[in-house]
Amino acid sequence: MNLIIVESPAKARTIKNFLGKGYEVIASKGHIRDLPKSRFGIAIDEETKELVPTYSVAKENAPTVKQIKELAKKADIIYIATDEDREGEAIGWHIAHAIKKVPEELPRIVFHEITKTAITHAIENPRSINMDQVNAQQTRRLLDRIVGYKLSPLLASKIQKGLSGGRVQSSTLKIIVDREREINAFIPVEYWSIDTIFDPNIDANLVKYRTEKITKLSIKNETQAKEIVTTVKSESFKVASIETKQRKTSTPPPFMTSTLQQTASSKLGMSPKKTMMVAQSLYEGVKTPSGTSGVITYMRTDSLNMAAEAVEAAREKILNTYGEKYIPESPKSYLKKSKGAQEAHEAIRPTMLDFTPEIAAGYLKPDELKLYRLIYTRFLACQMMDALFEQQAIIFRSESADYKANGRRLMFDGFYRVLGTEDKDKLLPTLKQDQPMNINSIKPTQHFTEPPPHYSEASLIKQLEAEGIGRPSTYAPTISTLQARHYIDIEKRQIIPTKVAFTVIELLEKHFADIVDAKFTATMEETLDKIADEGHEWQKILSDFYIDFMKKIEAGKENIVSLKLAKPLGRNCPECGSELLLRSGRYGNFIACSGFPKCKYTEQVASEEGEEGENAQAPRTEKTDEICDKCGSAMVIKNGRNGKFLACSAYPKCKNTKPYGDVKEAAVPCPECGGKLHYKQSKRGAFWGCENYPTCKFISKFEPTDKKCTKEGCDGVLAMRTYRGKEVYECVKCKERTPVEEA
């Protein structure tokens, strides 16, 4: 009997179906040995100064180890078949130690897909455990233990209980906090556009006025805009040039982990964590017409390589389904890897092209089908012809101004035949050189620049990949950890840092700059790559880091001033008897038990500001001469999370609030109640809101106009916004976008 040890039970079941009676397949269920949970678990060798980890089998893993040991005694050959990455290599090494075998003597088999062909080929071509990869994983694990185990207690003692710090976690949090700082510091800049339509219904952009090239921010105020309109209306235009050229849109590469997570988030609304869970089930084995099998390749990869036979199968599928004109002369390859790419995996692709999404619909769960369709169509698309467009640019010229009209039409759909496209043809009429042109309508429109957007999970992963922070296996867990530690909230796909996140990052920036420095984190990732790929000395890297880091920890214990966000209230929790604390949260102050997370007792505070007992400080307010239009009390100036605002002094009996200072007002009234629309700031960015809030809850990210949405059944109004570099109207309700010339 031969024994194959894999990581997951689902994978074990699938492989067992392929191999039959001569093989036993058992799952380790992930890591079976690790550093202890209850103590540091790393000793320092006094002579060599090397870091010596203490690994142990957790109590919950003991039955699994016992079962593997019993099967190993009966086995003629023991194959280590854990995942082909550093984590999998290390798991295999730990398994060997746990069953008292020499790791290097056990045959190691690897495969990128769980199919009968792939498993048979792997068994016929075993290798040894790669100790360089094992040491790279050990280095990462020990670095993370050092930072997490030593930094987290310091954060807890200086700020509040329950906080944690981490090598990748903290640098990721700084990226999020830095973006929030940009948003909070953003000051809108006024600019104007000259919306012009020439006969017959040709939308054109002003690109030159007198001697100045016109860019987005060139026209700064209404006076300037009106002067241009007056001049342009008085002049005659003619066609100055007509340029037609063809442009190709290249096929997208196949998916790797980061791009799959990003696309699944934007197109399917799946979180990175859920995406990886669904992908794992597709990889490990699902029901198909030919039995249980893995239907995609390994999902944790930063490679764009594709097996030659898989590419050939894709080309044949394209030929038979769509015809010869959709196949390029030679297969396409995508060899560019992400920054710091590591193991030589394949890209994520389907393993059986005959298992089409249409057939898969009868076998897969809804989420599995959605993700499988995404992967299947992307793989076919990457081996198809480019899409071909004809682009047209026409310049209309007068004595003072140049306008440019752009048009395009799809001449050959290429890979869009599989992926589809949201881009519509925009056709320009046939015009002749020097043909006179008349302006149909012209209108100056005011705009304001917008702050940078909050990160979504997809855009954050893209940023982490660009910075070289983390690896495919760490993106989703890092975001989940930040959520679990209440450093971030995710609302409507936007990542919002909490107040405690700012406090933690400010402390780390001052005392542990390396830990939150993206370049330092990326350099450490590159160092781990060198350990895995080139066998660099891992113990020296660990030792150097540990000595320097511990000096900072000891200095921090002495020198960091307490920034505790929780204040004792002098009374006990009615549920467990622990002390009650006044804490600061996303939505203001609240009272919570100091025994959290074991005890989850909370109370509301006595007032909006969180005044509770002598230990709580009331915020400062400034009196004004303004009278509350709801109850007649005086209005006072208060400070909120988004700056100063006016509030009724009779709070909480009257909860009336108003913007403070000069208020930017929309040109049109609120479409729901007729009140004034004001430009406001919130934790999610700037927006237009009704003055009658909370009675009227109308809001819009973009300034509404008096134009009505033309979509059947929708009564929303249109707001002008920039979409893909072009001014369009977007309905504030249904989000339907309409070209300016069609509104």
Options 2.70.20.10, 2.130.10.10, 3.40.50.1820, 3.90.550.10; CATH of 192-250+387-448: 2.70.20.10
312 against 712, higher pLDDT: 312
CATH of domain 257-381: 1.10.290.10
Cα 506–508–511 angle (5° rounding)?
110
Peptide bond into 200 cis (omega under 30): yes
Q: What is the DSSP letter of 247?
A: E
- The pLDDT score that the predictor gives to residue 576 is 87
- Each residue's pLDDT tens digit, 207-232: 999 999 999 999 999 999 999 999 99
Residue 607 has pLDDT above 60, yes or no: no
Beta bridge pairs of residue 639: 644
CB burial of residue 447 (10 Å; 0-12, 13-18, 19+) = buried
Q: How far apart are CA 600 and CA 595, in angstroms?
A: 8
Six-digit token string for 140? 């990462």
Options 3.40.50.800, 3.10.310.10, 3.40.50.140, 3.30.565.10; CATH of 2-129: 3.40.50.140
> Is the Cβ–Cβ distance between 453 and 256 less than 8 Å?
no
Residue 601 annotated in active site? no
Q: How far apart are CA 678 and CA 688, in angstroms?
A: 5
- Each residue's pLDDT tens digit, 50-104: 999 999 998 899 999 999 999 999 999 999 999 888 999 999 999 999 999 999 9
Task: Write out the DSSP string of 316-333.
Answer: HHHHHHH-GGGS-SS---
Nearest alpha-carbon partner for 570 in 591, 555, 544, 556: 591
- The pLDDT score that the predictor gives to residue 725 is 67
Instruction: Report how far apart, in Å, the C-alpha atoms of 70 and of each of 7, 14, 73, 78 are.
Output: 17, 22, 5, 12
Mean pLDDT lowest for which of 360-369, 442-451, 476-485, 731-740? 731-740
- Each residue's pLDDT tens digit, 396-431: 999 999 999 999 999 999 999 999 887 778 889 999
What is the mean pLDDT of the segment spanning 11-30? 90
- Cβ-count burial 327-343 (b if 16+ within 10 Å, e if not): beeeebebeeebebbbb
- Each residue's pLDDT tens digit, 101-112: 999 999 999 998
Six-digit token string for 665? 């007002």
Q: How far apart are CA 464 and CA 472, in angstroms?
A: 10
Binning pLDDT at 50, 70 and 90, where does residue 595 land? confident
Within a 13 Å sphere around the CA of 455, how many CA atoms are in the beta-carbon half? Answer: 26
Within a 13 Å sphere around the CA of 29, how many CA atoms are in the beta-carbon half? Answer: 11
> Is the Cβ–Cβ distance between 707 and 730 less than 8 Å?
no
Q: What are the E-state strand segments in 573-725?
A: 579-585, 588-593, 602-603, 622-627, 634-640, 643-648, 657-659, 677-682, 685-690, 699-700, 704-708, 717-723
Single-letter amino acid, residue 639: N
Six-digit token string for 239? 């066609």
Six-digit token string for 575? 């549920």
Cα 476–5–122 angle (5° rounding)?
90
Helix axes 518-534, 131-158, angle to 10 degrees: 160
> Is the Cβ–Cβ distance between 243 and 406 less than 8 Å?
no
Number of Cβ within a 10 Å radius of residue 513: 11
Six-digit token string for 490? 């995710």
Provide the whole-model pTM: 0.73
CATH of domain 149-184+454-559: 1.10.460.10
63 three-class SS = helix
Instruction: Report how far apart, in Å, the C-alpha atoms of 104 and of each of 2, 32, 79, 108, 143 are.
Output: 18, 18, 12, 9, 25
Six-digit token string for 494? 């936007």
Six-digit token string for 524? 């450490």
- The pLDDT score that the predictor gives to residue 286 is 94
- Each residue's pLDDT tens digit, 111-123: 989 999 999 999 9
473 against 253, higher pLDDT: 253
As a whole number of angstroms, the longest Cα–Cα distance in the chain is 96
Question: Can you say whether the dihedral through the CA atoms of 11, 12, 17, 19 is positive or negative?
Answer: positive
Nearest alpha-carbon partner for 610 in 561, 569, 562: 569
CB burial of residue 382 (10 Å; 0-12, 13-18, 19+) = buried
Q: How far apart are CA 546 and CA 53, in angstroms?
A: 13
Beta bridge pairs of residue 643: 640
- Each residue's pLDDT tens digit, 266-306: 899 999 999 999 999 999 999 999 899 999 999 988 889 89
14's enclosing H/E stretch is: helix 9-19
Q: What is the DSSP letter of 123?
A: H
374 three-class SS = helix
- The pLDDT score that the predictor gives to residue 343 is 45
Residue 726 has pLDDT above 70, yes or no: yes
- The pLDDT score that the predictor gives to residue 575 is 85
Number of Cβ within a 10 Å radius of residue 619: 11
- Each residue's pLDDT tens digit, 499-554: 899 999 999 999 999 999 999 989 998 999 899 888 889 999 999 999 999 999 99
Counting residues of the chain whose pLDDT is more than 90, the rounded percentage is: 59
What is the mean pLDDT of the segment spanning 701-729? 85
Number of Cβ within a 10 Å radius of residue 520: 15
Q: How far apart are CA 464 and CA 258, in angstroms?
A: 9
Within a 13 Å sphere around the CA of 475, how many CA atoms are in the beta-carbon half? Answer: 32
- The pLDDT score that the predictor gives to residue 619 is 41
Query: Tokens 């934790």 belong to which residue?
Result: 683
Select which of 298, 416, 455, 475 is catalytic: 298
Binning pLDDT at 50, 70 and 90, where does residue 342 land? very low
Counting residues of the chain whose pLDDT is more than 70, the rounded percentage is: 93
What is the mean pLDDT of the segment spanning 325-349? 77
- The pLDDT score that the predictor gives to residue 621 is 58
Number of Cβ within a 10 Å radius of residue 521: 22
Residue 261 has pLDDT above 60, yes or no: yes
Number of Cβ within a 10 Å radius of residue 1: 11
> Is the Cβ–Cβ distance between 171 and 481 less than 8 Å?
no
Q: How far apart are CA 26 and CA 3, in angstroms?
A: 8
Give the chain's mean pLDDT. 88
> Is the Cβ–Cβ distance between 400 and 208 less than 8 Å?
no
- The pLDDT score that the predictor gives to residue 612 is 37
Six-digit token string for 75? 């086995």
Cα 595–597–599 angle (5° rounding)?
55
Cα 531–537–539 angle (5° rounding)?
110
Q: Domain-by-domain residue ranges, the chain?
A: 2-129, 149-184+454-559, 192-250+387-448, 257-381, 566-618, 625-742
